[in-house]
Amino acid sequence: MEEEEYLFKVVIIGDSAVGKSNLLSRYARNEFNLHSKATIGVEFQTQSVDVDGKEVKAQIWDTAGQERFRAVTSAYYRGALGALLVYDISRCSTFDSIARWLDELNTHSDTTVARMLVGNKCDLETLREVSVEEGKALAEAEGLFFIETSALDSTNVKTAFEIVIKEIYNNIS
Ligand code: GDP
Ligand code: MG
C-alpha cells in the first residue's frame, strides 16, 4: 500500500520589515540576515516535519516584498491551510496592522486556516512597544494561536511553524 502524502501550504503575512523572510530562512536553513533585501516574486521553501510518525511537507510561502505595495495577490493565499501573522514587538504600528492582515486572510480563504499570531524580534526587549498581554489578548479575541519569536536568536521559531503544521494536520484528519 502507498503511504499517504501530506503537503500543506502555509503563508507568512504582516507589514514590511517585521522579519517574515528571516523567520523563514531561520526555520528552513538556519540563516539570518541583518540586511535582507526583498527579492522579486513569490518564493516558498519546503520543509519536512514528523507529525505522529507521518512525514508532513510544509510549503511555506514568503511575500518577497509584495506587501510594501499592498499587493499581496490572491494567488499567494490560494490553498493556504496555515498562516503566520507577524508583527514586530518594537513597532506598534505593525501590531495595529494585524487586523487588516487578518481581514485579508479571511477574505481569501474558504477553508479552516490554522492561524498563529507571531510577535517577532522579542530579543529587542528594551525597545518593546507591544506587551505580551496585548498580543495574547488579540489572539484570544480572534481565535489565533500566539507566540513571541526572535529570528535573530532563534527563540521559538521552530515551535511557531510546527504548532501551525500540527494544527493543520489535526484539522484535516
Ligand atoms: P520582512 O520584510 O518582513 O521579510 O522582514 P525581514 O526578514 O527582511 O527583516 C527586516 C529587518 O529586521 C532586517 O534588517 C532583519 O535583520 C531584522 N530582523 C528580522 N527578524 C529579527 C529579529 O528577530 N530580531 C531583530 N533584532 N531583528 C530582526
Ligand atoms: Mg521579506
pLDDT in tens, 154-170: 999 999 999 999 999 99
Which of 7, 9, 133 has its CA nearest to residue 60?
A: 9
In terms of pTM, does the model score above 0.90? Answer: yes
Q: Is 64 in the pocket of ligand 1 (CB under 6 A)?
A: no
Say whether pLDDT at 113 is over 60: yes
Per-residue model confidence (pLDDT) at position 111: 85
Q: Closest Cα to atom 26, ligand 1: which residue?
A: 121
Q: Is 17 in the pocket of ligand 1 (CB under 6 A)?
A: yes
Asked if 150 and 123 count as a contact pair (C-beta separation under 8 A), the reply is: yes
- Region 66-93: mean pLDDT is 90
CB atoms within 10 A of CB 123: 17
Q: Is 59 in the pocket of ligand 1 (CB under 6 A)?
A: no
Which ipTM did the prediction report? 0.99
Asked if 117 and 135 count as a contact pair (C-beta separation under 8 A), the reply is: yes
- Region 41-68: mean pLDDT is 87
Q: pLDDT class for 38, splitting at 50, 70, 90?
A: low
Q: Is 92 in the pocket of ligand 1 (CB under 6 A)?
A: no
Laid out side by side, the sheet with 6-13 consists of: 43-51, 54-62, 6-13, 80-88, 114-120, 145-148
Among 22, 43, 95, which residue has the most ligand 1 atoms within 8 Å of its CB, making it the best to mutate? 22
Q: How far apart are CA 62 and CA 44, in angstroms?
A: 6
Per-residue model confidence (pLDDT) at position 82: 98
